[in-house]
Protein backbone atom coordinates (compact mmCIF):
# COMPACT_ATOMS: atom_id res chain seq x y z
CA UNK A 1 0.00 0.00 0.00
CA UNK A 2 1.03 3.56 -0.49
CA UNK A 3 0.20 5.97 2.32
CA UNK A 4 2.06 8.98 0.93
CA UNK A 5 0.67 12.26 2.34
CA UNK A 6 -1.71 10.31 4.60
CA UNK A 7 -1.84 10.82 8.38
CA UNK A 8 -2.20 7.94 10.82
CA UNK A 9 -2.90 8.32 14.54
CA UNK A 10 -2.04 5.27 16.64
CA UNK A 11 -3.08 5.01 20.28
CA UNK A 12 -1.09 2.54 22.32
CA UNK A 13 1.66 3.03 19.75
CA UNK A 14 4.64 2.47 22.00
CA UNK A 15 4.73 -1.33 22.02
CA UNK A 16 3.41 -4.51 20.47
CA UNK A 17 0.78 -4.22 17.77
CA UNK A 18 0.66 -0.42 17.94
CA UNK A 19 4.40 -0.03 17.48
CA UNK A 20 4.49 -2.56 14.64
CA UNK A 21 1.58 -0.81 12.93
CA UNK A 22 3.36 2.54 13.24
CA UNK A 23 6.42 1.06 11.53
CA UNK A 24 4.31 -0.16 8.59
CA UNK A 25 2.60 3.20 8.14
CA UNK A 26 5.95 5.04 8.29
CA UNK A 27 7.64 2.67 5.82
CA UNK A 28 4.75 3.23 3.43
CA UNK A 29 5.04 7.01 3.59
CA UNK A 30 2.43 8.06 6.15
CA UNK A 31 2.92 10.75 8.74
CA UNK A 32 2.43 9.02 12.08
CA UNK A 33 1.20 10.33 15.43
CA UNK A 34 2.07 8.10 18.37
CA UNK A 35 -0.21 8.44 21.39
CA UNK A 36 0.37 6.73 24.72
CA UNK A 37 1.04 7.52 28.37
CA UNK A 38 4.77 6.70 28.47
CA UNK A 39 6.68 9.65 26.98
CA UNK A 40 10.08 7.97 27.03
CA UNK A 41 8.86 4.99 25.01
CA UNK A 42 6.84 7.32 22.77
CA UNK A 43 9.91 9.34 21.85
CA UNK A 44 11.84 6.10 21.19
CA UNK A 45 9.21 4.99 18.70
CA UNK A 46 9.20 8.42 17.04
CA UNK A 47 12.99 8.14 16.63
CA UNK A 48 12.58 4.68 15.08
CA UNK A 49 10.00 6.02 12.61
CA UNK A 50 12.20 8.95 11.64
CA UNK A 51 15.06 6.52 10.94
CA UNK A 52 12.69 4.76 8.54
CA UNK A 53 12.25 8.12 6.79
CA UNK A 54 8.88 8.87 8.33
CA UNK A 55 7.55 12.09 9.79
CA UNK A 56 6.21 11.54 13.28
CA UNK A 57 5.53 13.05 16.68
CA UNK A 58 4.44 11.83 20.09
CA UNK A 59 1.52 13.04 22.20
CA UNK A 60 1.32 11.94 25.83
CA UNK A 61 -2.29 10.86 26.12
CA UNK A 62 -4.67 9.07 28.45
CA UNK A 63 -7.37 7.94 26.01
CA UNK A 64 -9.88 7.56 28.80
CA UNK A 65 -10.33 11.34 28.79
CA UNK A 66 -8.05 13.14 26.26
CA UNK A 67 -9.12 11.93 22.82
CA UNK A 68 -10.50 15.24 21.53
CA UNK A 69 -7.27 17.06 22.41
CA UNK A 70 -5.26 14.31 20.72
CA UNK A 71 -7.20 14.61 17.47
CA UNK A 72 -6.97 18.41 17.62
CA UNK A 73 -3.15 18.25 18.03
CA UNK A 74 -2.91 15.82 15.12
CA UNK A 75 -4.90 18.06 12.79
CA UNK A 76 -3.05 21.21 13.96
CA UNK A 77 0.29 19.56 13.17
CA UNK A 78 -0.50 17.71 9.94
CA UNK A 79 -3.68 19.40 8.70
CA UNK A 80 -5.75 16.23 8.54
CA UNK A 81 -6.41 12.76 9.95
CA UNK A 82 -6.88 9.83 7.57
CA UNK A 83 -6.49 6.76 9.80
CA UNK A 84 -7.06 6.13 13.49
CA UNK A 85 -5.69 2.90 14.89
CA UNK A 86 -7.45 2.64 18.25
CA UNK A 87 -5.00 0.23 19.84
CA UNK A 88 -4.75 1.49 23.44
CA UNK A 89 -6.08 -0.91 26.05
CA UNK A 90 -6.36 -1.05 29.81
CA UNK A 91 -4.90 -4.04 31.59
CA UNK A 92 -6.54 -3.31 34.93
CA UNK A 93 -7.95 -6.65 36.02
CA UNK A 94 -7.29 -8.11 32.56
CA UNK A 95 -7.17 -11.68 33.78
CA UNK A 96 -10.01 -11.45 36.28
CA UNK A 97 -13.59 -12.50 35.79
CA UNK A 98 -15.76 -9.43 35.29
CA UNK A 99 -17.54 -10.24 38.56
CA UNK A 100 -14.18 -9.97 40.37
CA UNK A 101 -13.33 -6.45 39.11
CA UNK A 102 -13.56 -3.63 41.59
CA UNK A 103 -15.85 -0.87 40.43
CA UNK A 104 -12.80 1.37 39.92
CA UNK A 105 -11.07 -1.27 37.75
CA UNK A 106 -14.23 -1.78 35.72
CA UNK A 107 -14.74 1.98 35.18
CA UNK A 108 -11.10 2.47 34.12
CA UNK A 109 -11.22 -0.47 31.70
CA UNK A 110 -14.45 0.81 30.10
CA UNK A 111 -13.07 4.35 29.84
CA UNK A 112 -9.94 3.20 28.03
CA UNK A 113 -11.18 0.25 26.00
CA UNK A 114 -14.56 1.61 24.92
CA UNK A 115 -14.77 5.34 25.51
CA UNK A 116 -11.20 5.86 24.26
CA UNK A 117 -12.12 4.49 20.86
CA angle 56, 62, 66 (to 5 degrees): 85
Residue 49 lies in a domain: yes
Distance between CA 81 and CA 57 in Å, rounded?
Answer: 14
Residue 27 lies in a domain: yes
Q: Is the pLDDT of residue 49 over 90?
A: yes
Write out the E strands in 12-79: 31-36, 56-60
> How many separate domains does the chain show?
1
Question: In this predicted model, what pLDDT tens digit does every residue of 53-107 receive, in sequence order?
Answer: 999 999 999 888 888 999 999 999 999 999 999 988 776 666 778 788 888 888 8
Of how many residues is the chain composed?
A: 117
Range of the domain at 51: 7-88
Amino acid sequence: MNFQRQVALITGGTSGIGRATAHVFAREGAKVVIAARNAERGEQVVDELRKLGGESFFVATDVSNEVEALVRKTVERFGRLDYAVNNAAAFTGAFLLTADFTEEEFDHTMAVDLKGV
